[in-house]
Amino acid sequence: MKLVIVGVGKLGLALLEGVTARGVIPAAQIGLLDANAARVEDIAARTGARAVTRAHLGDAERILVALQPRVFPEVSEWLARENIGYISTMAGVSVATLVRRLGTQRVVRVMPNLAATIGRSQTAITGPREAQDAGDLAFARDLFGAVGDAYELPEHLFNAFTGMSASGPAYVAVVAEALADGGVRMGLPRPLANELAAKLLVSTGELLQRRAHPGLLKDEVASPGGTTIAGLEALEAAGVRGGLMKAVIAATRRGTELGHDQE
């Protein structure tokens, strides 16, 4: 097997779907291992990947660890194998901790996001020299490059990347929900409001990619004395900018805490 995914939860499944949809690795060469065996059997039947047990782990070329950080100390006791490269998506868990608990330098720390499922993840990647020499870093670059954009990032920036980009879909979903709530408050039917909110985020994202600065788009929309500037005034009064900045700061700090917990 080219890859075994250990922990087929929300992210593990998103990666599996993204990878198999793009044919990066044939589904039959991907193993799946999770605490919930029935769920994995289901996913295996649906995707063509193989449900495996701990006994199969030695057959893997590489293992992708997509577990919650809190279970890693216990799982690492049976996960460690010789001659296997590991790729970890666990928030906060450092390369040093991975190396110590897995007993190998062949570790790659990555931080994708749920958009992997549609091939639009932004994934940070780092790893030590041994992971580079063994081809593990190149493997991760190819894998995550196939399900979005891969960025090699110094490890000291990983928690900031996590707090902004990996947690980001949740913040943006809250923005979408709140916009739709505003529309409903002003009389729009809920299905229409939800659809408009989702489309606004997609179209605005595409417009932003064409402009040098988000402020330019904001200025083009806001007419003097018009509706938008009145809305923007309300946003500033509610402290929305500071709130979003604080969300990234809090999530980054939480990443640091999670890392200390698993050392």
Ligand X SMILES: NC(=O)C1=CN([C@@H]2O[C@H](COP(=O)(O)OP(=O)(O)OC[C@H]3O[C@@H](n4cnc5c(N)ncnc54)[C@H](OP(=O)(O)O)[C@@H]3O)[C@@H](O)[C@H]2O)C=CC1
Nearest to 13 by CA among 54, 44, 56, 58: 44
Cβ at position 214, least distance to ligand X in Å: 24
Which range of residues in 14-22, 133-141, 161-169, 207-215 is near ligand A1CAB by CB under 6 A? 161-169
Which range of residues in 42-50, 67-75, 126-134, 209-217 is near ligand X by CB under 6 A? 67-75
**Nearer of residues 125 and 134 to ligand A1CAB, judged by Cβ:** 125
112 part of the interface to ligand X, by CB under 6 A: yes
Cβ at position 261, least distance to ligand X in Å: 12
Cβ at position 198, least distance to ligand X in Å: 18
- Map the footprint of ligand A1CAB across residues 70-99, applying CB under 6 A: 91
DSSP 200-214: HHHHHHHHHHHSS-H
Which range of residues in 112-120, 193-201, 209-217, 231-239 is near ligand X by CB under 6 A? 112-120
49 part of the interface to ligand X, by CB under 6 A: no
Nearest to 129 by CA among 99, 150, 103, 89: 99
9 part of the interface to ligand X, by CB under 6 A: yes
C-alpha distance from residue 80 to each of 61, 69, 100, 136 (Å): 13, 16, 10, 16
- Count the residues in the chain: 263
Q: Which residue is nearest to ligand A1CAB (CB)?
A: 166
Structure tokens at 97: 């901790």
> Given the structure tokens 């902004």, which residue do they identify?
164
Beta strands in the chain (DSSP E): 3-6, 30-33, 50-51, 62-65, 85-88, 107-111, 121-126, 148-152
Q: Centre a 10 Å sphere on the Cβ of residue 213 and count the other Cβ atoms it contains.
A: 9
Contact residues toward ligand X (CB under 6 A) are 6-12, 33-36, 66-69, 71, 75, 89-91, 111-114, 166
Contact residues toward ligand A1CAB (CB under 6 A) are 91, 162, 166-167
